A and B are shown apart, each in its own frame.
Chain A
Amino acid sequence: MNSVLVFALAGVGLILLGLYALLVQRHLLRKVLAFNVISSGIFLILAGLARRAPGAEPDPVPQAMVLTGIVVAVAATALALAMIQALRTATGRTRLDDDGED
């Protein structure tokens, strides 16, 4: 049980790192990386919650939710990358317009 708490707190740490990078980094590809790190942090907390069940079997419902979440994160990442490439082809930049000078 204790090691599960370690992983859940690591998930909180990942969320903190990812949020900071999402807000501070300007390059859009790095924002996509930060978004994926935040997702991984959330999944760690959920999977840790699944392990709270007494007995040997973990709770299957949070595990199914994490599985769904991983697939959705991949789909969102693919769409975000395609949009970044379209932005690049249209304007030649990989940063959003209001993000300071370039």
Chain B
Amino acid sequence: MAWLNLLPLAIDLVLALTLLWLAWRALSSPDLFRAVVLFIALGLVLGLVWVRLDAVDIALAEIALGAGVTGALLLAALAKLQPGATDSAEPASAAEFAAALEGDPDTPRPALAERAATGTAPIALGSTLDERPVGAAAGTAPIALRWLIALLLIPPCIGLGLVVWQLWVPAPGLTDLVAARLDESGVTYPVTAVLLNFRGYDTLLELAVLLLALIGVWSLSPAPHLDDAEPEPALAALSRLLAPLMILVAAYLVWIGAQAPGGAFQAGSVLGAAGVLLRLSGWRLSPRATGWPLRLALVLGVAVFAFIGLAVIGLGQPLLGYPAGWAKPAILAIELAATLSIGTILAALFIGGRP
């Protein structure tokens, strides 16, 4: 039964080939909706791969953020990019619309139904039309240029593959360093210790990057005006069941992050997903809450982190150097504030405009 030893390797090989195949199909599919759905599937398989690589935190973050939130963002953007869905310049969109349907632009419905009926994706948040579904040549560079680019890209990638191959020797990296100082870090799980203590500066800047992205999105457009149509009753019922549960799961993830895979980012992404779900099922934030309470929730993560990081300078420590014995409460405070902020920022990014 020696072949049983090869079974894990075979499974990993199948997973890796599935990744490559999904990526190729997602990037080359002529239908944009199918491309996005395949990309979401790629995120889910990637989550499996992270578990195979013993990186459970990354798996949690990938599935919640990479497949979930990114998928929701892409589908929402796709719906808004439909020809005629926005008040855009008419000639370009009408011509593309007609060209895409290869026929009468006044009767889009049968063509849409046809495409939806032959589509294989079960989830649909909007229409499925792409601008140029016929022929990859119209949507990509000319064929000579494509061959040139492919030929030029292959040597660097072979070089990268060789480098990766030669790097594959057992090397402890920073594991021992982290393990040696883990007791002083305030938590017992190494990844959380690295994120919030040893490399806390990176995490502070990462929170700032999230906030900056939201400021960028807000500066581009006001929030879309939503009709107060009656939301789907099934979706509303599901969100009533799931949203409190997701808040509970987020709280659990933050707490358990000190000793097991979890932490502020995974919890924040679950909160963000709860926000997306509530938004989709028709829940609206009251106008009074979109003023300073919303803004306070958004900046709380960066504010608390920066405040603690700077305040310890007054106690004689370097920037972000928690004093001895204060590491655990400091990390807990930072994680709670960061979870709230990350969840709010992700939900606000999905909504897409300033309130």
Q: Do chains A and B touch in the complex (CB under 8 A)?
A: yes
Cα A64 to Cα B239 in complex, Å, equals 32
CB pair A7 B52 closer than 8 Å: yes
Cα A57 to Cα B221 in complex, Å, equals 46
Q: Which of B208-216, B305-313, B329-337 contacts A (4 or more CB under 8 A)?
A: B208-216
CB pair B88 A92 closer than 8 Å: yes
CB pair A34 B175 closer than 8 Å: no
Considering only CB atoms, which chain B residue lies closest to A22 in the complex?
B27
Task: Indicate whether A14 sits within 8 Å of B81 (C-beta atoms), given known contacts A73-B66, A75-B349.
Answer: no
B146 at interface, CB cutoff 8 A? yes
Q: CB-defined interface of A69-102 with B at 8 Å, one 1/0 digit per residue?
A: 0111111111101111110110111100000101
Q: Which chain B residues lie closer than 8 Å to A76 at the CB level?
A: 213
- B residues 58-76 with Cβ under 8 Å of A? 58, 61-62, 65-66, 69-70, 73-74, 76
Q: Which 3 A-B pairs have the closest CB atoms?
A: A92-B89, A75-B213, A3-B12
Cα A51 to Cα B56 in complex, Å, equals 13
Q: Which of A1, A12, A30 is in CB contact (< 8 Å) with B27? A: A30
Task: Indicate whether A53 sits within 8 Å of B65 (C-beta atoms), given known contacts A67-B57, A79-B213, A81-B77.
Answer: no
B8 at interface, CB cutoff 8 A? yes
Q: Which chain A residues lie closer than 8 Å to B167 at the CB level?
A: 49, 52
- A residues 1-36 with Cβ under 8 Å of B? 1-21, 23-27, 29-30, 32-34, 36
**How many A residues face the partner with a CB closer than 8 A?**
82
CB pair A7 B88 closer than 8 Å: no
Cα A83 to Cα B172 in complex, Å, equals 42
Q: Could you tell me the dominant secondary structure of chain A's interface residues? A: helix
Considering only CB atoms, which chain A residue lies closest to B93 in the complex?
A92
A15 CB, min distance to chain B CBs, angstroms: 7
Considering only CB atoms, which chain B residue lies closest to A68 in the complex?
B206
CB pair A59 B174 closer than 8 Å: yes
Cα A17 to Cα B139 in complex, Å, equals 17
Q: Which chain B residues lie closer than 8 Å to A14 at the CB level?
A: 19-20, 23
CB pair B150 A48 closer than 8 Å: no
CB pair A18 B27 closer than 8 Å: yes
CB pair A16 B169 closer than 8 Å: no
Q: Which of A11, A36, A52, A72 is in CB contact (< 8 Å) with B171? A: A52
B55 at interface, CB cutoff 8 A? yes
Q: Which chain B residues lie closer than 8 Å to A8 at the CB level?
A: 164, 168
